Amino acid sequence: MRFFRHLFAVLALLGATCAHAEVVEGKDYKILSNPQPTTGGKKVEVLEFFFYGCSHCYLLHPFMSEWERKKPKDVELKYVPVVFQESAEPMARAFYAVEAMGKLNKMHDELFKSLYVFNLEMNDEASITNFVAKYGVDRAKFGAAYNSFAMQSKITRSSQMVMSYAIRGTPSIIVDGKYSITGLMPEDTIRVLDEVIKIARKERSKR
């Protein structure tokens, strides 16, 4: 019995050590060769490049949502919908439209569910409008936002950011315009994100 208690204690210690293992550059995260200026001011900026049609983004989403609720006060999270091809633009427009309407907190989850829970085809304005209207989003206001002049500027800006940050896949997380996190399991993504924020915070303190 004493042996098993000792074994469990050792395993618990090993588990705790692994959970708090230091992140490794080149393995857990990368430093961008061409860092970009941030817009977060005094806050550490975190960008999540995502695509509603990306299954890995869908799996990461609940972890990011939970992290967002508890994130440090000196950290700002921004979502950037990626448009790698023309078929992705309608859902990117949907994101920006509900964001402009102040409905993002309510609809971000549902837009993911539309594809992965309800198996809907959300590939044009009509199908997307019908979906968001079920959640109380005003059709006329959504349509106006979806087709606004500002919308095209946002889509263009998103594409420019994808190029500037050399985004090759989703989800990709950029911390303070310099550090890239991608290709990890959801739990590891959050663990590494927390540690990289600490690195970015220390770097800011030296400026």
DSSP string, 39-58: S-TTSEEEEEEE-TT-HHHH
Q: What angle do CA 10, 11, 12 make, to 5 degrees?
A: 90
Q: What are the tens digits of pLDDT across the range 90-120?
A: 999 999 999 999 999 999 999 999 999 999 9
- Whether the predicted pLDDT of 84 surpasses 90: yes
Q: How far apart are CA 39 and CA 173, in angstroms?
A: 15
pLDDT of residue 20: 55
Of 156, 136, 145, 203, nearest in space to 176 by CA: 203
Asked if 76 and 48 touch (Cβ cutoff 8 Å), the reply is no
Query: E strand or H helix at 30, and its extent?
Result: strand 30-31
User: How do the domains of the chain map onto residue ranges?
Assistant: 23-206
Q: What angle do CA 90, 56, 121 make, to 5 degrees?
A: 35
Q: 23-206: what fold?
A: Glutaredoxin (3.40.30)
Q: What are the tens digits of pLDDT across the range 17-71?
A: 444 568 999 999 999 999 999 987 899 999 999 999 999 999 999 999 999 999 9
Q: What are the tens digits of pLDDT across the range 139-166?
A: 999 999 999 999 999 999 999 999 999 9
Average pLDDT over residues 72-90: 96
Read off the pTM.
0.88
Of 132, 83, 74, nearest in space to 108 by CA: 132
Of 190, 173, 67, 56, nearest in space to 116 by CA: 56
* pLDDT level of residue 73 (50, 70, 90 thresholds): very high
